[in-house]
Amino acid sequence: MKSRSETLKDAIEEMIAVGKFAPGQHLDETELAASFGVSRTPIRETLIQLASMGLVVIRPRRGAVVAELGPQQLVERFEVMSELESICARLAARRMTPAEQDALRAAHAACKEAMTSQDPDDYYVKNEAFHEAIYTGSHNQFLIEQARSLYRRLRPYRRLQLRVRDRVSNSYAEHDEMVQAILDGDGELAARLTREHVMIQGQRFADLMASLPQLQAAAA
């Protein structure tokens, strides 16, 4: 069973991920305490935890705000994310057990259902499970922890990407190639395809930057 602290952290982290709390938005301890029916102390402790994860910035005398990434910071983080996930895919192609391969197929099938229903938010949830299946298949716990940590920091932006026109269908098509490479045991191909899938550059970056106001609007 989760502790109260873990429940609060998960809830506020999810609100940041879906854009309810937008990048740069002030997080008022009193309002959060009233919203969750707790005192300010556990809220303050939760914000400190989120700050250690890079999701929140705590400023002296100004309190906590949702971390805000500029264009260069976004590129740098997605660049590292693409490398971490490519390593996961390379190792997964070599190390996945039959049961883990079945889990990857199931996660891929769930993404297809979400794509068919044309629900980008549902696809995002299934997409997260898909990537998690690849992390697990790497059988490298330190790598898994690093990939999960950075994934959490980028959740609002990864989610937003899926709202860009045709991104969901393109994402699924890229998944399809990744899955085949992993199941074929072709680590180098799996790594290259995964790197290209995660990295944002060119038009994808331009589309993401143009969509950022949606995060602000979602919190309004």
Residue 49: which CATH number?
1.10.10.10
SS3 content of the chain, % helix, strand, coil (to 5): 75, 5, 20
Domain check: are 54 and 91 in the same one? no
Domain with 47 in it: 4-66
Beta partners for residue 56, in sequence order: 66
Domain check: are 169 and 190 in the same one? yes
Secondary structure (H, E, C), 19-46: CCCCCCCEECHHHHHHHHCCCHHHHHHH
- Of the residues 13, 40, 66, the one at which a domain ends: 66
Domain check: are 95 and 134 in the same one? yes
195: confidence class by pLDDT, cuts 50, 70, 90: very high
> pLDDT by residue (tens digit) across 146-169?
999 899 888 888 888 887 888 899
Who's near 36: CB < 8 A, 6+ residues apart?
8, 11, 43
Domain check: are 97 and 175 in the same one? yes
- Of the residues 66, 89, 117, the one at which a domain ends: 66
> pLDDT by residue (tens digit) across 41-98?
999 999 999 998 888 999 887 889 998 878 888 889 999 999 999 999 999 999 999 9
- The two three-digit tokens of residue 145, written as one number: 């922890």
Q: At 54, which amino acid appears?
A: G
187: confidence class by pLDDT, cuts 50, 70, 90: very high
Contact 107, 205 (CB under 8 A): no
Domain check: are 38 and 94 in the same one? no
Domains in the chain: how many in total?
2
Q: Can you give the CATH number for the domain in which 92 is found? A: 1.20.120.530
Rounded Cα distance between 201 and 167, Å, is 14
